[in-house]
Structure 1
Amino acid sequence: MVATKFVLNTRTTEGDRPVDADVIIVGAGLAGLTAAHELTSRGRKVALVEQENAANLGGQAWWSFGGLFLVDSPEQRRLRIKDSFDLAWND
Structure 2
Amino acid sequence: MVLADRLFTKPSGQAQAMVQLSDLAGRSHELHSEVAVVRNGSILFEDDCRMAMRLLTEGELSINLDKAARPRPPAQRNWPSD
Does TM-score exceed 0.5, indicating one fold?
Answer: no
Structure with the greater alpha carbon radius of gyration: 1
With structure 2 as the length reference, what TM-score do the two structures score?
0.29
Point out which structure has higher relative CO (alpha carbons under 8 A, 6+ apart): 2
